[in-house]
């Protein structure tokens, strides 16, 4: 199993540009999550999904959109990038049992200039 994969690893955007961060998992996990991690801070939840076709907002959803058309994929869309979206983005997945932990991808480092 590859686990949770994310692409790209790094990206520089200009203000106002848009992009999609890709996330895929091959563990047949029901739950998937997007977080952002600002320097020296913990992770904050952007969006999450409990299954294909079902998504909901987390703590910091403004400026982002998600979709989940398959169990495996959970892309995060940034529209009209702003410097405040400069961050490291992590995708995670979880099967769904009480004792389950979240498995994290390697992250995407995004800079908006």
Partner 1 sequence: ELKVEQNPLFLSMQEGKNYTIYCNYSTTSDRLYWYRQDPGKSLESLFVLLSNGAVKQEGRLMASLDTKARLSTLHITAAVHDLSATYFCAVANAGGTSYGKLTFGQGTILTVHP
> Is 13 or 105 the residue whose CB approaches partner 1 more closely?
105
C-beta of 26: minimal distance to partner 1 in Å?
16
C-beta of 16: minimal distance to partner 1 in Å?
28
| Residues of this chain that bind partner 1 (CB under 8 A) | 31, 33, 40-45, 48, 50, 56, 58-59, 90, 92, 94, 96, 98-107
CB 61 within 8 A of CB 77: no
What's the CA angle centered on 16, arms 42 and 66, to 5 degrees? 55
C-beta of 104: minimal distance to partner 1 in Å?
4
> Is 26 or 100 the residue whose CB approaches partner 1 more closely?
100
Sign of the four-CA dihedral 107, 65, 57, 81: positive
Q: How far apart are CA 46 and CA 71, in angstroms?
A: 19
Strands 10-13 vs 108-112: parallel, antiparallel or unpaired: parallel
What's the CA angle centered on 74, arms 111 and 37, to 5 degrees? 35
C-beta of 32: minimal distance to partner 1 in Å?
10
> Is 14 or 98 the residue whose CB approaches partner 1 more closely?
98
């Amino acid at each position: 199993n590859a686990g949770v994969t994310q692409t790209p690893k790094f990206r520089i955007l200009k203000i106002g540009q848009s992009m999609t961060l890709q996330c895929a998992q091959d563990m047949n996990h029901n739950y998937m999550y997007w977080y952002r991690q600002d320097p020296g801070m913990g992770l904050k939840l952007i969006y999450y999904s409990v299954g294909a076709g079902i998504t909901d907002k987390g703590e910091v959803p403004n400026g982002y959109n998600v979709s989940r058309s398959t169990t495996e994929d959970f892309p995060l869309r940034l529209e009209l990038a702003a410097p405040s979206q400069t961050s490291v983005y992590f995708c995670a997945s979880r099967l769904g049992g009480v004792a389950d932990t979240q498995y994290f991808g390697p992250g995407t480092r995004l800079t908006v200039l």
